[in-house]
Amino acid sequence: DTEVTQTPKHLVMGMTNKKSLKCEQHMGHRAMYWYKQKAKKPPELMFVYSYEKLSINESVPSRFSPECPNSSLLNLHLHALQPEDSALYLCASSQVDSGGELFFGEGSRLTVL
Amino acid sequence: GQNIDQPTEMTATEGAIVQINCTYQTSGFNGLFWYQQHAGEAPTFLSYNVLDGLEEKGRFSSFLSRSKGYSYLLLKELQMKDSASYLCASKAGGGNKLTFGTGTQLKVEL
């Protein structure tokens, strides 16, 4: 199994809603990532978890709250988002010492109204 | 900090060879990566260079010169399915932080 599975594929939410994005992998990877990608732009790193501990937070606003409940799962909790947060949210995983071979999920396309 | 530059767009002909260049300025440089991303899809890993020289993988090759802060991705025998965005990414330090360039949109024509 070389897949990273993300749900939901599409999400529309209002600025007062609370929602969560979910990511799952069964490759035994102990590093997991959240990236944000706007149209025609490169992915921008948001968070990195290594061995289920948050190792990198790229100064992401607190309305985005990551969680890594176990080595296979990664969540991104969303609350009080702004319309400019509308984007494709990509989850990725890798071996901790792989260098940079990331395996990406297909993403969750988020629209904030 | 990190700064990565690559051309925005390139066009090439089916069956030809194309070279996509990438220059970077990365503190604590620890590797250069190339990813392919088709429209509406997730990026997929193509290659990784940490030492100077050429890495060949089928129709794709990647080159690195650390002293020049320069890499290129070479695509041979171009196929229509190679039309995609090609993202150059650099890694800094021993952590797992990759910074992506803006990507080069390659269009392969008949």
- Residues 6+ away with beta carbon under 8 Å from B3: B24, B25, B26
CB contact under 8 Å between A42 and B101, yes or no, is yes
CB contact under 8 Å between B31 and A99, yes or no, is yes
pLDDT digits (tens, 9 = 90+) for B36-87: 999 888 899 999 999 999 999 999 999 999 999 999 999 999 999 999 999 9
Dump strand ranges (E) for A8-113: 10-13, 18-25, 31-37, 44-50, 53-57, 64-70, 73-79, 87-94, 103-104, 108-112
pLDDT digits (tens, 9 = 90+) for A25-78: 999 999 999 999 998 889 999 999 999 999 999 999 999 999 999 999 999 999
pLDDT at B14 over 90: yes
Q: Which of A53, A58, A91, A101 to mutate to test the interface with B (most CBs of B within 10 A)?
A: A101
pLDDT at B27 over 90: no
